[in-house]
Structure 1
């Protein structure tokens, strides 16, 4: 394996570490193998003393079909309509070894260059494939046996019958490509290895709470950009090039014409539309969402619509002010059991939040401390209390934070128990030791253990 870039790539998420590598060749290619072992004893063996031993084994890998779960992701996304004129279509495989598990070579040849892949991602525009004029990623179902059967004017992979993995009558998806189109779209043979790489995604082992998609992936990149001048639909096909070295050589030399059809297995296919016109794609849709046809900004604040006109009472004015600030009245049950209403302001309200009150020395220990009671109207404002509860829930949902907090509580309990035992032991009844105990109790936390020790020191328990 060669490393194009072995140093970690910095990313915005500190839990991700990426390594990009040129390739990841397997120890042995996919295929059928025969191992023969012979042993001779000089001066004793007459040729039949020790019989040769022969074993056959098979290294398996997808050949003419690929399960959907082997494709980790594709880009552009299937069916999207946006400006993709600067995007090279690419596909991510879950198996990082797959692109190098087979060879371009045909039967009887063994001159494959190291790290030469057998997969390519080809992108076709509307009208380029006779069987798929609208570029809907249409494929033709055939069996592997039919794919490899000779036909007039058709070039297909040259694979020995003994190298067909599994049932030769198993179905697969195929695509027929005019020779001149294939020669234009397919990468040159020496370019294939530059259009694939391996991406190793690892995570910081210290972040036990993160659920990240770590692993190794192979990425296959196409060599064609969509047209940047007109709207067009494109079909992307991940094709198998095993046994296609002579076809690629003719494509490199320009010997493929329109009269020739290149028939390949399509392992994965999808389609998308590239629209370079202003207003197309995601950015255009967001702009349309934010502004109307006259260019006026839409009122998109998440708030209740204003109530119909009424009297100009102070109560109405106060309620309108709260509605305009993004607050909503929600049912609220008091701790004493009564049902009433409370004002609530969510975290995504498009309005600056009010300044928090001064934090007490001991901090906020419950949501009830942050509930605001409006005496004039007899209602609570639950916004700060709900935010405190949400923050606590998010913090405890982090496994690392929860584990650290649990360990801190356990340590505090152990220290509190040890301090209490020392305070009740004989010989610790001096005034200085009482003050020291109270000081350590306050610094030790968390409550109620610190408060318990302060009480023990204050009421004379430490003097006993």
Structure 2
């Protein structure tokens, strides 16, 4: 097996990926002044034109969650020692955390000129709020509502917001059409998930604007020797770029925790450090939830070997220990009848299972037949140390079939692993393309070698004769012969 080089183990942390324009509505104004050769205006009237356009993007909900979010950590419904981990969300789109802003004043926002980057810290518009069951206050604070329920009732009569706060709190007691506050593609009747949280608790738990500048980044990682990821590692590239947004609070120990990816767009005044804005602590703040999940922090190790040990009721291991007894005495194993053969009992206890096996087709009297049998098969996780005496590489799966003389059955474990590995490899477009090119070039080289051998045989040449020199001499002789015949 080839060891990865340092550059193939690469991971790079990038400050941010700021888009050229944030999501929202924009207006482009163009003016033109006509002058003569002397620079004097031909007309006092300035020609102007205005064009309205919008940069659309997810705002209160994710239109395609599976394509936007790559993963969350801790995983949904996971159980383990997560008390020292900041929950976070990984996005496939690198600029997503910076497509909007929590800031209100446009003068504070970073606007990039074309082709110009910046080292200035830019706050993300998302954060991960982590609450335990007591802080959440029950499922009644997690609701499915419509976009109109984010507006004050003075703007949208049907709104259920009441006297609470939300993203359009500044529109209270103002006459404005709610549609003008939304971007194209977002309707007042669209369903969204929201979290109603006490304003005092939110200001205690929420990150400040300065915190939000440090709570998101981009990672560039190597995809070498990684599992195939649809749309990421199967597009012919060896590098992957992801953006990450994480929370600012560690999960509570020994209890169930809830994580909410919420939008902080335009909520600068609600964040810590904004004492000039007085909050009514008797009201709640309604936040749009783009992703929610829960997990359990038990205080137990979350490592794989610790989970296997707990299946056996064993004790946790330390870094200096090696657990050599991982026999799975659990209900997951196959039951073995008392009257079964010793060899069969031993195979089942070692992790093998009998499976139906269709052998390669045979031909008898011009009729193709399929022989059937039962063979042993196991997975890579076994409760004992395996001695690897394989001769690799193997030309086909048949080279890896093993015969068990004690039971008279075939062991197809390595053969099935070979087939599975080949199928997984061919799913990778980059690998499949390189393999096709390698096979094509090898076939061309073999064909050239055969043609050279036949020419040497027919022309009675030695193997050391260079065909290029021979062809040059032959062509020169034919030209001289032609010239001689013409002069004659």
TM-score by length of 2: 0.64
The change in CA–CA distance for 1:137 and 1:272 in structure 2 (over 3 A counts) is: farther
Residues 100 and 116, structure 1, Cα contact 8 Å, conserved in 2: yes
- Shift of residue 25 of structure 1? 0.9
Matched, 1:173 2:207: no
1:219 corresponds to: 244
Matches of residues 250-265 of structure 1 in structure 2 within 5 Å? 256=279, 258-265=281-288
Name the residue aligned to 1:123. Answer: 130
Aligned in 2, Cα 1:156/1:371: closer, same or farther, shift over 3 Å? Answer: closer
Quickly say closer, same or farther: Cα 1:168–1:365, change in 2 above 3 A.
Answer: closer
What is the deviation of 1:286?
Answer: 2.5
1:287-345 deviation digits (Å, cap 9, x = unpaired): 2323489x995457988947727xxxxxx888888888869697686968796868756
CA distance in 2, matches of 1:254, 1:407: 71
After superposition, give the CA deviation of every residue in 1:102-160 in whole Å (9 maximum; x if it has no partner).
23233x6422355222222211222224xxx2469823513246435577753333578
Aligned counterparts of 2:399 and 2:61: Cα–Cα separation in 1: 63
- Other structure's SS at 2:107 match: coil
Within 2, Cα distance between the matches of 1:136 and 1:285?
A: 34
Who is 2:97 aligned against? 99
Provide the residue aligned with 1:37 in structure 2: 31
- Aligned partner (choices 145, 151, 158) of residue 147 of structure 1: 151
CA distance in 2, matches of 1:178, 1:184: 10
2:291 to 249, 263, 268: 268
Report the equivalent of 1:82.
Answer: 80
- Structure 1 SS opposite 2:51: strand
Which runs of structure 2 are paired with 1:53-68 in the superposition (5 Å)? 53-67=49-63, 68=65
User: Does the 8 Å contact 2:397/2:418 carry over to 1?
Assistant: no
C-alpha displacement of 1:196: 0.6
**2: CA distance, partners of 1:381 / 1:65:** 56
1:28 alignment counterpart: 21
* Structure 1 equivalent of residue 211 of structure 2: 191
Question: Are residues 1:47 and 2:44 paired?
Answer: yes
Question: What is the root-mean-square deviation in Å for CA atoms of aligned residues?
Answer: 4.9
Distance across 1 between alignment mates of 2:286 and 2:400: 71
Aligned to 1:451: none
Tell me the SS of whatever aligns to 2:248.
coil
Deviation at 1:164, TM superposition (A): 2.4
Q: Any stretches of 5+ residues in structure 2 without a counterpart? A: 111-119, 155-160, 172-177, 316-324, 427-431, 466-488
Query: Which residue number in structure 1 is paired with residue 429 of structure 2?
Result: none
| Distance (Å, rounded) in 2 between the aligned partners of 1:202 and 1:92 | 16
Contact 1:82 1:275 in 2 (8 A): yes
Classify 1:169/1:204 alpha carbon distance in 2 versus 1 (closer, same or farther; 3 Å): same
Q: Following the alignment from structure 2 to structure 1, what is the Cα–Cα distance between the partners of residues 390 and 54?
A: 72
Aligned partners of 1:342 and 1:380 also within 8 Å: no
Structure 1 range deviating more: 324-333 or 282-291: 324-333
| Structure 1 pair 268–415 and aligned structure 2 pair: CA distance change class (3 A) | same
Matches within 5 A, 1:240-319: 240-248=263-271, 256=279, 258-276=281-299, 278=300, 285-291=307-313, 298-299=328-329, 305=336, 308=339
Is this contact kept in 1: 2:130–2:259, CA < 8 A? yes
Q: For 1:412, what is the secondary structure of its paired residue?
A: helix
Does the 8 Å contact 2:328/2:383 carry over to 1? no
Distance 1:22 1:181 in 2: 30
TM-score (normalizing by structure 1): 0.67
Deviations 1:170-208 (A, max 9, x none): 433322221221111101211101111112346579x99
Q: Distance in 2 between matches of 1:329 and 1:242?
A: 56
The answer to whether the 8 A contact 2:60-2:290 is kept is: yes
User: After superposition, what is the alpha-carbon deviation per residue over 1:422-445, rounded to whole angstroms, capped at 9, x for unaligned?
Assistant: 1231354xxxx6xx89xxxxxxxx
* Shift in CA distance, 420/170, structure 1 to aligned 2, threshold 3 Å: same
Q: Distance in 2 between matches of 1:357 and 1:281?
A: 30
The CA distance in 1 between the partners of 2:402 and 2:212, in whole Å, is 66
1:257 Cα deviation after fit: 6.2
Map Cα deviations across residues 228-262 of structure 1 (whole Å, 9 max, x no partner). 3xx22222222222221222256568965632422
Query: Once the two structures are superposed, what CA deviation does each residue of 1:22-54 show, in whole Å capped at 9, x if it has no partner?
Result: 111111222222223232425453333x53222
Structure 1 225/208 Cα, relative in aligned 2: closer, same or farther at 3 Å? closer
CA distance in 1, matches of 2:18, 2:199: 31
1:238 to 261, 285, 288: 261
Flag the 1:317–1:183 CA change in 2: closer, same or farther, 3 A.
closer
Written as runs of structure 1 = structure 2, the 5 A alignment for 1:294-373 is 298-299=328-329, 305=336, 308=339, 344=376, 348=380
